[in-house]
Amino acid sequence: MKKHLFIILLAVTTTFITSIKEVKASHFAGAEITYSCLGGNNYEITLVFYRDCGGVSTPGSVNILLNCTSNSVFNQTITLNKISGTGQEITKPCPSTTTYCSGGNSFGIQEHVYKGNVVLVPCNHWIMSYHSCCRNSVNTVQNNTSNPWYIKAVLDNMSAPQSSSPKFLQKPVFIVYSGQNYKLNMGATDPNGDSLSFSLYNPLKDTSQTISYSSPYSYTNFLSSSTPITFDPQTGLITFNSNISLNTVLGIKVTKWRKINGVPTIVGEIYRDVELKTISGNNHMPELSGMDFTNSHQFNPNDTIFFKEVCHGEVLDFDINAFDIDSGSTNNGKMTMNSTFTIPGATFTVHNNGTDSVYGHFHWTANNNYSNKRCFTVLLNDLGCPYNGQQVSSYCFIVKDTVSLSLNTSDTMLCTGDTLVLQAQTTAQNPAFVWMKNGQTITGATGSSYTVNTNNYQTGQDTFSVVLQASNTYCSANGNLMINHVYQPHIYLTLQDTGIAIPGDSIVYDAGQGMLYKWMDQNNTVLGTAQTQAFTKSGLYHVIVDGGNNTRCTDADTFAIWVAGIENHKPEGGVLIIPNPNNGQFMLKIDNDKFASGKYTVEITSQDGKVIYSRKIKNRKEVKIDLGSAAKGIYQIVISNTNQRLTSRIVIR
């Protein structure tokens, strides 16, 4: 296949629009205007004019027209003078090729630089216009040789005081061959760290008219390509594979953004008008990879990441690798790599430069101290003929904000029955949340708060997390809280108010579920620390139960113990209970004629008033009583007839 080489000639603007009316002949390969704030309202304006060495010579000065659209009183014209020593050839021919710039007959371009200073009062819409005639002949535009150039740019130095324009880091002359995949990149960055976005536009003839492409061409379909023309608005990267020989025109706009009061705001625009010229050649274009995060030092066509969203504080380490199909066969495969680098704190180190295995390594801890958009460019050249092959790629990052995320409480212990409202607190705008328990998503919990109800969870430790979901402007964030759910004892009013013990025996109290116990007498002397406690002495006692280990999840109760002193108690009237205490079987002896010679009733009741034994007896002095399986305790016995009533107590143990 016959190969054809494209020379890409760029015309660039900056935030001011210039009017150069002196230039009238076809030598216009491209131009760019940039400006730098010198302090206050003082600016240095620079015009870089790229001259086709096959055309007429350049003027010694140019006039730039500056218009403030909001107040015409500030309109003015400034003259820029050519800087001595400029006008050097920037084309990269091999030694056997002589260009028009050196007296030969091959295509060549010179760079001419003009500078001047001006005072620009704050204006929200400075416009500058650059106008010249005429364009070179191209295949894709109707009557192009009679078409003038018109390039504009915009500056808002009211919203963004002391703002400087973006800078085009590589010379706007590119040489490519047809039948090869090519990546065209503007290589723009911003000295203020402002964000840049890119778009294609229809090149202008004047303030309102655009050039007219011949069908089927347009400003988005500016040449015939065997692959779809692609354009990346984040980096300005254009890819294509030209399959015919032609000259064409391409327009690219660069928009400058700054975050003002938290709102992304356009503070400038620059425009580039690009001519692509085809010549014959056999050199193959070198290739640059995308970001190689494996740091392999080897070119891989699958490394296609040129733009990446990262988080503030994230560490980036990756290689950029080079490849030339001519490697190993001719000198064409030897490559040189360099970078125009403007990311503060980042490093780019080139290894094996001048060989066919050159690569660069990038390292940076991402930050958005000023702006969230960061870019750098890499230029790769080979040593091929008739012109050195050249590739330029930009590598850009959107640095997302890191936002604070915290939970509203430091109380991480809850007792059974407690509830706690967890409130996510963040500086993010319009946040979206996901709540989790022990790493598992809680269904339906997506609001800014979540209520922890301990009745729904077992006791123990649980980690509750809230995840701030990432957006276009900030990274995800996590907030974690360890909650210790402690059992809440319930003992108050559950213990027997008065416990009665039998002499020589004890009564045992059980405080129920808990972890720590403290049984005390009325003098607060600790008697025991187990779940149960035995008592053998009369007195007033209390117990404290802790559901955890020295927590606030406690409960307490107070109770009395009475030890009964009964032994063969003899009620008044000559009635004996033998034995007493007993096991529920005892003998009742009547030594009272009023009862023994007549009828009487024996009734036994428990402490809660329940009758457990009742019997009518006639003419008996001794009665054997068997209470069967009656529970241990103290009971009341009543012996009565129509004339007399005697009471006493029996103890079953």
Domain segments of the chain as ranges? 4-281, 285-400, 423-485, 498-563, 575-652
Q: Could you give the CA distance from residue 16 to residue 120 in angstroms, rounded to a whole number?
A: 11
Residue 432 scores a pLDDT above 80: yes
Residue 483 binned pLDDT confidence (cut-offs 50, 70, 90): very high
Contact 395, 378 (CB under 8 A): yes
Q: What is the DSSP letter of 93?
A: B
Residue 57 scores a pLDDT above 70: yes
Helix (H, G, I), strand (E, B) or coil at 279: strand
- Quick one: three-class SS letters along 560-612? EEEECCCCCCCCCCCEEEECCCECCEEEEEECCHHHHCCEEEEEEECCCCCEE
Question: What integer is the mean pLDDT of 444-471?
Answer: 90
Mean pLDDT for the chain overall:
85
Query: How is domain 285-400 classified at the CATH fold level?
Result: Immunoglobulin-like (2.60.40)
Residue 41 scores a pLDDT above 80: yes
Question: What integer is the mean pLDDT of 613-631?
Answer: 87
Q: Could you give the CA distance from residue 555 to residue 513 in angstroms, rounded to a whole number?
A: 11
Domain 575-652 sits in CATH at 2.60.40.3080
Dihedral angle of Cα 90, 95, 98, 101, to the nearest 10 degrees? 20
Residue type at 520? M
What pLDDT, on the 0 to 100 scale, is given for residue 598? Answer: 78
- Percent of the chain clearing pLDDT 90 (strictly above): 38
What pLDDT digit, counting tens, does each position of 316-356 carry? 999 999 998 887 656 666 888 888 766 888 999 999 998 88
Unique residue bearing structure tokens 């000295």: 191
Dihedral angle of Cα 608, 610, 612, 618, to the nearest 10 degrees? 120
Question: What integer is the mean pLDDT of 144-163?
Answer: 88
Residue 24 scores a pLDDT above 50: no
What pLDDT digit, counting tens, does each position of 172-216 carry? 767 778 888 888 887 687 888 788 889 999 998 988 999 999 999
What pLDDT, on the 0 to 100 scale, is given for residue 156? Answer: 94
Of 129 and 415, more confident = 415
Residue 128 binned pLDDT confidence (cut-offs 50, 70, 90): confident
- Quick one: three-class SS letters along 147-205? CEEEEEEEECCCCCCCCCCCEECCCCEEEEECCCCEEECCCEECCCCCEEEEEECCCEC
Of 567 and 174, more confident = 174
Instruction: Give Cβ neighbours of residue 284 (< 8 Å, ≥ 6 apart).
Output: 177, 180, 324, 325, 326, 332, 382, 384, 389
Helix (H, G, I), strand (E, B) or coil at 85: coil
Query: How is domain 498-563 classified at the CATH fold level?
Result: Immunoglobulin-like (2.60.40)
Of 484 and 14, more confident = 484
What pLDDT, on the 0 to 100 scale, is given for residue 372? Answer: 62
Peptide bond just before 579 cis, omega within 30 deg:
yes
What pLDDT digit, counting tens, does each position of 276-291 carry? 887 777 788 888 999 9
CA neighbor of 79 nearest in space, from 60, 66, 64, 68: 64
What pLDDT, on the 0 to 100 scale, is given for residue 13? Answer: 34
Q: What is the DSSP letter of 117?
A: E
Contact 251, 203 (CB under 8 A): yes
Q: Could you give the CA distance from residue 119 to residue 37 in angstroms, rounded to a whole number?
A: 10
Of 13 and 179, more confident = 179
Exposed (0-12), middle (13-18) or buried (19+): which is 322, by Cβ within 10 Å? Answer: buried
What pLDDT, on the 0 to 100 scale, is given for residue 596? Answer: 63
Sort strands 126-133 and 148-155 into parallel, antiparallel or unpaired: antiparallel
Residue type at 421? V
Helix (H, G, I), strand (E, B) or coil at 331: helix
Exposed (0-12), middle (13-18) or buried (19+): which is 422, by Cβ within 10 Å? Answer: buried
Q: Could you give the CA distance from residue 430 to residue 433 in angstroms, rounded to a whole number?
A: 10
Helix (H, G, I), strand (E, B) or coil at 296: coil
Residue 441 binned pLDDT confidence (cut-offs 50, 70, 90): very high
**Total-model pTM:** 0.60
Question: What integer is the mean pLDDT of 621-634?
Answer: 86
Residue 363 scores a pLDDT above 80: yes
What pLDDT, on the 0 to 100 scale, is given for residue 22? Answer: 35
Instruction: Please name the helix (run of DSSP H) or strand (run of DSSP E) that holds residue 449, with its range, or none.
Output: strand 449-453
Q: Which of 144-148, 242-246, 351-355, 362-366 is predicted with the least confidence, judged by mean pLDDT? A: 144-148
Q: Which of 365-379, 499-513, 536-550 is predicted with the least confidence, judged by mean pLDDT? A: 365-379
Residue 33 scores a pLDDT above 70: yes
Helices then strands, counting H and E runs in the chain, come out as 1, 48
Residue 360 binned pLDDT confidence (cut-offs 50, 70, 90): very high
